[in-house]
Structure 1
Amino acid sequence: MYDIKENYLVAGDALNALLAPLVTNKSVKKVYQANELSDVDERSQVTPAVHLLYMGDTLPDSAQGGATTQIKQTWLVMLACRLSIHEADAGELLVKTLSALAGKSIDLHGQRMGPFLRINSPIKPRFSKSHGYYPLAFSVQLRFNPNL
């Protein structure tokens, strides 16, 4: 289990690293890390793109004396596509995104993080006049010890 030491949102770095091959092979043009859904602005982004958003965490019922806590973080991975692409292309990008993340682990900062497990998305897909937004949600277990 990955021990959080300096960056509580380090799982975003791991997701970014797992998605990097999609940028390299030009399946997506960019991976963004956003603070909230309103930051996903269709006027300033290239598409297709992936937006990573931290959606919060779940703590166990027992605090274990407050020293060490296992945390389950939830991350939203939002695929943004212009509606001018064919729906089949968006479907293929969803498969590529799922294949890059679902059940995957990664070495990060000398520790193993993951697996990233797919969970129900807290939001539904949405569509504007020009873009489609396809949400995928993942959870990952981390450990936080303030004494590390």
Structure 2
Amino acid sequence: MKKIVYVSIDRIIAEIEHKLMLQVCECLQMQPTKNDISVYDIVPPVSGGLEAVHSLLKIPQFDVYFISTPYWPDDVAWGDRKFWAERLFDKQDIEKRLILCHEKQLLIGDYLIDDSWMNGSIKFMGQWIAIGVDSKFPTWDEVLLHLIKDQV
């Protein structure tokens, strides 16, 4: 049976904070106008994150899903995650594999790769891999090694 792996998008494979701050600074310097650009239009992937997830997708023992907790009042943020992921992953890798969730402890699976304890990660019933927070998982390299070793 395949192991279910949930990979958070925000800060795990999408470099959201950095680009968000750049956009806010840019907007503060401009005249107030309607901004038709989405933050996710300019968000790059996290260094190493995209490659790591592509590797995970190739391992037949894993069933990978993408999760995100969009800002509730921002209606555009919900679709932004889908469009961002579709630009970076093959259709068969992302289609029907994006879960927008504010209560991650309700997800049923084996691994949750996320950097935040908020929104239920800390209560996840499988293994929460706190990448960048837990000293055992400072980077994607350690996460991949752990997941692969766990299958042997």
TM class by shorter chain equals under 0.3
- Which one scores higher on RCO, CA 8 angstroms, separation ≥ 6? 1
Question: If each structure's helix is expressed as a fraction of its own residues, which one has the higher value?
Answer: 2
For normalisation by structure 1, the TM-score amounts to 0.25
Question: If each structure's strand is expressed as a fraction of its own residues, which one has the higher value?
Answer: 1
